Structure 1
Amino acid sequence: MAGLMVSEFAQSERLRERARRLIPGGAHTYAKGDDQYPVLAPGFIERGEGCRVWDVDGNEFIEFGMGNRTVGLGHAFPPVLEAAMAAMKGGSNFVRPARIEADCAETFLRIVHGAEMVKFCKDGSDATSGAVRLARAYTGRDLVACCGDHPFFSTDDWFIGTTPMNAGVPRATRRLTLTFRYNDVASVEALFLRYPRRIAALILEPARSDEPVDGFLHRVQEICRREGTLFILDEMITGFRWHASGGQHLYGITPDLSCFGKAMGNGFSLSALAGKREFMRLGGLDHSDLPRVFLLSTTHGAETHAMAAGIATMEIYRTQPVIEHLNRQGSKLKAGMEEAAQRHGIDAFVYPVGRPCCLTYATLDRDGNPSQSFRSLLLQETIRRGILMPSLVVSYTHQDADIDYTLEAIDGALEVYARALQDGAERYLVGRPSQTVYRRFNQNGQPPRAVYARKSA
């Protein structure tokens, strides 16, 4: 087993200084930034295999983030790697389409049953923004509604303008996106009462930490149909984790458009916008009744090795019990963490949240409020014990022994957590706590004095 009591990150620290000089924030994904982790954390990963990763200092961890949920099968999963390498040997990008583009589309559409056409790209933001553009073109409307309880849809202005981190997004653009609450049909109805026949698209995830209740998804879809609004499901996380055919299959609903990515390529860059032919055709060449839509056109969107990885990954999900394994191991992890928290008398302050195949966890302070300090402390103490768990997301390669060892580490970390509830987290946390991504300023969410002075000058 991993077995390492981790404490040394000298190489990471040196590399961090170099990266910050070269890369804004020191990373290319905000969720991977230093501000998301405690001071005592690996700064850079060297390699991964299965459910384990090794950092640049040689520390070994069992990982439960799985590349921000992009790696469902496991790091460097051999059948996926072999397919990608074989395709790459024949070239990765050409001046005309490659045969594998049609092969990948057929594979995808065999699995995602409600979709009739698909277009591939490289990341989730392009897919969701393409869906929004398509909906606006089809309806001739400007407004978009997105679920305010779901944390991320796109890096593009139509969504980022709804967050506190909206610097650079024009006010006019911000006013075009509306929000509603998950499992709150009244909040959806209120939007359409306020903006009748003006909303082009409504987008949400099928589920996240909460399951849809009282037919929520179907009721929202009925409202959209009544109002002539396209109903879009963001399946970046639920796709290839809730079910091989997506959350839409699990919940028995067929959206107008849906967006997939993350685990679809097991870490390779591949995402998809899929939907009914009636809408998707507007981005093609076979219509003349409506204006052309510049739907998706990415230079690297059809790289052969990513397509090959996607085909191999989707076939594994189709033929092997991946989803069953994720739910089984996640259930063990959830039950074990709950039992450990009860044993330490802190089950009201730290507990797993969500579906077993895609768990996160809550970390509350002594007053019962969500706490970045206590989240950082839990991360710090599990990292010390050889576990890297910004979430509790399992993969196909997490075996029983990995779960057992992880629960031992969590038990030890919760012992520290329990003491910190009495003594204060700052007594046990080394350095500053982590922070949320969506904050307006870097310094604890507040502007530095120089900014205030400049504004008042």
Structure 2
Amino acid sequence: MNNQERLLRVIPGGAHTYSRGFDQFPSNAPQILERGEGAYVWDPEGNKYLDYGMALRAVTLGYAYPSVVEAAYREILKGNNLTRASTTELRAAELIVDLIPSADMVKFAKNGSNVTTGAAKVARAYTGRRYICIPRQHPFFSFDDWFIGTTALTRGIPSDHAASTLVFDYGNIASLEKLFNEHPGQIAGVMLEPATTLLPCPAACQHKLSYENPCHQCRHNGSNFLHAVQGLCRANGALFILDEMITGFRWHLQGAQVYFGVEPDLSTFGKGMANGFSVAALVGRREIMEVGSISQPGAERTFLLSTTHGGEMSGLGAFIETVKVYRERDVCRHLWHYGEKLREGLLSAAKDCGLQNHFSLDGAPVLMNYVTRDANGAVSMEFRTLFSQEMVRRGVLMPWITLSLAHGDHELDLTLQAARGAFSVYAKALTDGIGKYLEGPAVKPVFRRFN
């Protein structure tokens, strides 16, 4: 029995996140990993891979970053989880409130899903309204039914659990206005990511996205999609909620909300904020967050986030140290600059192999996605799998593109060398047919109704 079979025997799906499932990787990818260090991971047989998965985008400094590991260990030696709030918990709360301009208060949790669901509850409690609006183009907000029930995966979810979630189109403000018109006085909040590979910038904007030229300095900034959503929420008494699970601690240390110059009522953070340790945060304006308070005599209570491990000291110590490293080493600048070099190198290598019409990169340099196309120019999961397969063959694990401080010039050279080899196979497959080169099934979307 191989490792994949052993995993599937004891874990539904073979992993604790569907994005780690075997159907998300080419057949020659390592079935299981042993450890990670810096920008690299190793399987149990000792095979080493340069990694661009980076723990589903949770690791931004590099695996096992020494000072972060040491900070977490020091907290473990203090007891790790105490009977009342800890001094570490207080330090972490004060740090994030000082760091994020829109944050007056915070509730910590262990998963991003916990805090996005918490944000939806806060919005409903604060406004007394029913509906939460989300963009259909954003792939994931929560494992809870209010979100999953809007996807193709509705098995096990009563239909009324998602009935209070409304869907609009990112970048199309008219689609959101339509929801407000159809449900006047009933929308509690609008939740969206500030940016994915889809950007909020208006079509007329020629502003080149970079670390040194944030969007809040652009003359078109006031007309970007995020400002339009913010204005619509303000005009209709709904809360403007930004999910910064992925954009946070990448676009800008203070969040993509600062990069794009908007002021959410509530925000959620996670993933890279503690360099792989399990920490998530719901932050927001005091008057809103205090719906979860117990210090206002006579006020009706809202049972907000109440998690045994939300104040776990090891993760919060890791968060405190991660912010320290970000400040000392200007991590976000590095992520942007490395992304710019990687973009230029990959596109140049693709062009050299005649693939400029078949391989492209969407999104800003700090958060890119590669898009693969077949001989007819149609987006192809088979060719995406082939490219990933050939990168694995050359020692690079690139299911998607996540950057870290540990990715440096040496890693860039390794990546581009592997890409040139992968692109040469890609070009042959366009001519000879992909069946001659693809060794297993194509990767599949996570949100599909049937296996």
TM-score, normalising length: structure 1: 0.92
- Aligned counterpart, 2:182: 194
Q: State the Cα deviation string for residues 81-138 of structure 1 (Å, max 9, x = none).
A: 0100111111111221111111001111121122100110001000100000011111
Within a 5 Å distance, the mapping from 1:254-265 to structure 2 comes to: 254-265=263-274
- Aligned counterpart, 1:209: 197
- Aligned counterpart, 2:218: none
**TM-fit CA distance, 1:288:** 4.4
- Aligned counterpart, 2:158: 170
CA distance in 2, matches of 1:365, 1:194: 41
Q: 1:106 aligns with which of 79, 89, 94?
A: 94
- Amino acid of the structure 2 residue aligned with 1:326: L
Q: State the Cα deviation string for residues 242-263 of structure 1 (Å, max 9, x = none).
A: 0000001111111000000000
**TM-fit CA distance, 1:427:** 1.4
- Aligned counterpart, 1:46: 34
Is 2:74 aligned against 1:86?
yes
- Amino acid of the structure 1 residue aligned with 2:175: S
- Aligned counterpart, 1:349: 358
- Amino acid of the structure 2 residue aligned with 1:34: F
Percentage of matched positions with identical amino acids:
48
Mean CA deviation greater in 107-116 or 268-277: 107-116
- Aligned counterpart, 1:315: 324
- Give secondary structure in 2 for the equivalent of 1:82: helix
CA distance in 2, matches of 1:319, 1:233: 27
- Give secondary structure in 2 for the equivalent of 1:200: strand
Is the 2:133–2:167 contact (alpha carbons within 8 Å) kept by the matching residues of 1?
A: yes
- Amino acid of the structure 1 residue aligned with 2:317: A
Is 2:288 aligned against 1:279?
yes
- Give secondary structure in 1 for the equivalent of 2:371: strand
- Amino acid of the structure 2 residue aligned with 1:293: T
- Amino acid of the structure 1 residue aligned with 2:361: P
CA distance in 1, matches of 2:428, 2:340: 27
Mean CA deviation greater in 178-187 or 25-34: 178-187
- Amino acid of the structure 2 residue aligned with 1:394: L
Is the 1:200–1:229 contact (alpha carbons within 8 Å) kept by the matching residues of 2?
A: yes
**TM-fit CA distance, 1:36:** 0.4
Provide closer, same or farther for how the CA distance between residues 367 and 287 of structure 1 changes in structure 2, counting only shifts above 3 A: farther
- Amino acid of the structure 1 residue aligned with 2:332: I
- Amino acid of the structure 2 residue aligned with 1:112: I
**TM-fit CA distance, 1:290:** 4.4
Q: 2:59 aligns with which of 63, 71, 75?
A: 71
- Aligned counterpart, 2:13: 25
**TM-fit CA distance, 1:289:** 6.2
Is the 2:108–2:282 contact (alpha carbons within 8 Å) kept by the matching residues of 1?
A: yes
Is 2:413 aligned against 1:425?
no
Within a 5 Å distance, the mapping from 1:387-398 to structure 2 comes to: 387-398=396-407
- Aligned counterpart, 1:241: 250
- Aligned counterpart, 2:413: 404
**TM-fit CA distance, 1:424:** 2.1
CA distance in 2, matches of 1:289, 1:96: 24
Is the 2:200–2:224 contact (alpha carbons within 8 Å) kept by the matching residues of 1?
A: yes
- Aligned counterpart, 2:384: 375
CA distance in 2, matches of 1:215, 1:352: 22
CA distance in 2, matches of 1:390, 1:431: 15
Provide closer, same or farther for how the CA distance between residues 274 and 76 of structure 1 changes in structure 2, counting only shifts above 3 A: same
Mean CA deviation greater in 200-209 or 364-373: 364-373
**TM-fit CA distance, 1:193:** 1.0
Is 2:46 aligned against 1:58?
yes
CA distance in 2, matches of 1:174, 1:237: 24
- Aligned counterpart, 1:452: none
Is 2:445 aligned against 1:441?
no
Is the 1:244–1:317 contact (alpha carbons within 8 Å) kept by the matching residues of 2?
A: yes
- Give secondary structure in 2 for the equivalent of 1:361: strand
CA distance in 2, matches of 1:222, 1:312: 36
**TM-fit CA distance, 1:371:** 1.6
- Aligned counterpart, 1:116: 104
Moved over 6 A (4+): none
- Amino acid of the structure 2 residue aligned with 1:308: G
- Aligned counterpart, 2:204: none
Mean CA deviation greater in 380-389 or 208-217: 208-217
- Give secondary structure in 2 for the equivalent of 1:368: coil
- Give secondary structure in 1 for the equivalent of 2:326: helix
- Amino acid of the structure 1 residue aligned with 2:149: G
Q: State the Cα deviation string for residues 334-370 of structure 1 (Å, max 9, x = none).
A: 1011001111111111122212122211112222222
Gaps of 5+ in 1: 1-12, 443-457
CA distance in 1, matches of 2:376, 2:297: 62
- Aligned counterpart, 1:451: none
CA distance in 2, matches of 1:137, 1:361: 40
CA distance in 2, matches of 1:305, 1:98: 11
Mean CA deviation greater in 41-50 or 369-378: 369-378
Within a 5 Å distance, the mapping from 1:299-310 to structure 2 comes to: 299-310=308-319
- Give secondary structure in 2 for the equivalent of 1:357: coil
Is the 2:277–2:318 contact (alpha carbons within 8 Å) kept by the matching residues of 1?
A: yes
CA distance in 2, matches of 1:116, 1:197: 26
Is the 2:96–2:103 contact (alpha carbons within 8 Å) kept by the matching residues of 1?
A: no
**TM-fit CA distance, 1:142:** 1.4
- Give secondary structure in 1 for the equivalent of 2:338: helix
- Amino acid of the structure 2 residue aligned with 1:405: L
- Give secondary structure in 1 for the equivalent of 2:343: helix
CA distance in 1, matches of 2:416, 2:154: 39
Gaps of 5+ in 2: 202-222
Is 2:2 aligned against 1:14?
yes
CA distance in 2, matches of 1:354, 1:435: 21
- Aligned counterpart, 2:236: 227
Is 2:397 aligned against 1:384?
no
Provide closer, same or farther for how the CA distance between residues 205 and 289 of structure 1 changes in structure 2, counting only shifts above 3 A: farther
- Amino acid of the structure 2 residue aligned with 1:267: G
Provide closer, same or farther for how the CA distance between residues 296 and 415 of structure 1 changes in structure 2, counting only shifts above 3 A: same
